[in-house]
Structure 1
Amino acid sequence: MRLPSDGELDAFAQVAADGVVPDGAVYFPQPWASAPPTERARSVVQNHWWARGDWTREAWRLLLAVFRDGQVIGQQNLSARNFATTGEARTGFWLGRRFQGQGYGTQMRAAALALALTALAPLVSPPPPSPTTPPRGRCPASSGRGRGRGRGCPRRRRHPTKRTVLHSRSIH
């Protein structure tokens, strides 16, 4: 995954034009993927240029081209608004239809999450403790493990779903 060069945007547009969703299906909030092939291709290129031109410290969208054996197969997105304050980033992706069902989407999401958690998380200060969060090393009484015992306290983990919101608090 990497930023596509201007020259690679043509190949990128062709993957979109060849199809992203079955005819008539609407999988995305914006109907770009269900549009006719020439509109899909144009939309993908315009979206890349818009993301590049609209980038600010407070609001950004990183649109990465995904390659297999040097060939563009899809796009992985990572975006945020007010990341330094909220610590939240979002992911999304699409694959050309002929590349779907082969595990690439799973690999793309894992790579985007790794990028977000390793590169972006250090940019966010940990949030102040909340009244509902026990001090570090203590189990809440509701855990059944006894108050004040740091050993054996179950950890709460967030499990990613198809639509993932990354939050810095989940990694501190």
Structure 2
Amino acid sequence: MTGTPDPLVQVWPLFGLVITTPRLVLTPVRDEHLPGLVDAVLAGVHDPAEMPFSIPWTDAPRDVLITETAKHQWRLRAGVTAADWTLNFAVLHEERVIGVQDLAARSFPVLRRVRSGSWLTRSLQGQGFGTEMRAAVLQFAFDHLGATSAASEAADWNRASLGVSRRLGYVPNGTSLVEARRGEVEILQNVLLAPEDFVRPDWTADVQGAEAALAFLTPGPD
């Protein structure tokens, strides 16, 4: 891309990070993405009878859900440090926001492990987008950030999420218990992926802005 440099990238280098796949564009959520993000949430993310998230944020009333969606993105952005970061990527298909794919790490310069989570507006589920968006951030994590492992988790009944993990090469890594939405106990299946086990797609993501992002997330010693 040519032209006048984006002034926001000068002050927040992560805004220059763009990952492109055959059908999708992933880039850290900007404020201009928020209306589309809210529309995707309000259109529905899951069967109302089920709750795939450990924090039942989609249960919030409509007005609360709208404002909390924006506040959550701002909190994550403000909380980024080299030791503790979560990148929320807006996932765009045909220039429309259809979901979020996150990538997070704790003590990344030492542990080199990332975690991921995602959601996709319900009307576009079942078309392979979930696999494509996670494969995109895994390529970024392994090939550009130098991650040595990637973790994820899903409720043991969440076949869609666990299916994505299985297709990409994750292996089971134990279980944990959480309190579910209605006070019931739910089993989470933890999964782990090493770079050599990553089942790569037949395409390679185009990543722009990786060098600046890496310098921002893993700064060297003063």
- Percent of aligned pairs with the same amino acid: 31
**Structure in which a larger fraction of residues adopt strand:** 2
1:159 aligns with: 169
- One-letter code aligned to 1:85: V
Q: Take 1:88 and 1:15, find their aligned partners in 2: how far apart are those partners? A: 29
Q: Does 1:95 align with 2:120?
A: yes
Q: Take 2:142 and 2:55, find their aligned partners in 1: how far apart are those partners? A: 27
Corresponding residue SS for 2:69: helix
* TM-score, structure 1 normalization: 0.70
Deviation at 1:93, TM superposition (A): 0.6
Trace 1:1-172 onto structure 2 (pairs within 5 A).
Answer: 1-121=26-146, 159-160=169-170, 164-165=191-192
Contact 2:102–2:116 (8 Å) recurs in 1:
yes
List gaps (5 residues or longer) in structure 1: 125-157
Contact 1:55–1:61 (8 Å) recurs in 2:
yes
Question: CA-atom RMSD, angstroms?
Answer: 2.5
Q: Take 1:85 and 1:167, find their aligned partners in 2: how far apart are those partners? A: 16
Q: Take 1:169 and 1:100, find their aligned partners in 2: how far apart are those partners? A: 28
- One-letter code aligned to 1:116: A
- One-letter code aligned to 1:159: G
Max Rg structure: 1
> How many residue pairs align between the two structures?
137
Contact 2:170–2:197 (8 Å) recurs in 1:
no
Higher RCO (C-alpha 8 Å, min separation 6): 2
Residue-by-residue CA offset, 1:96-119 (whole Å, 9 max, x unaligned)? 111111110010110011010011
Corresponding residue SS for 2:145: helix
Which 4+ stretches in 1 moved above 4 angstroms? 161-171
* TM-score, structure 2 normalization: 0.56
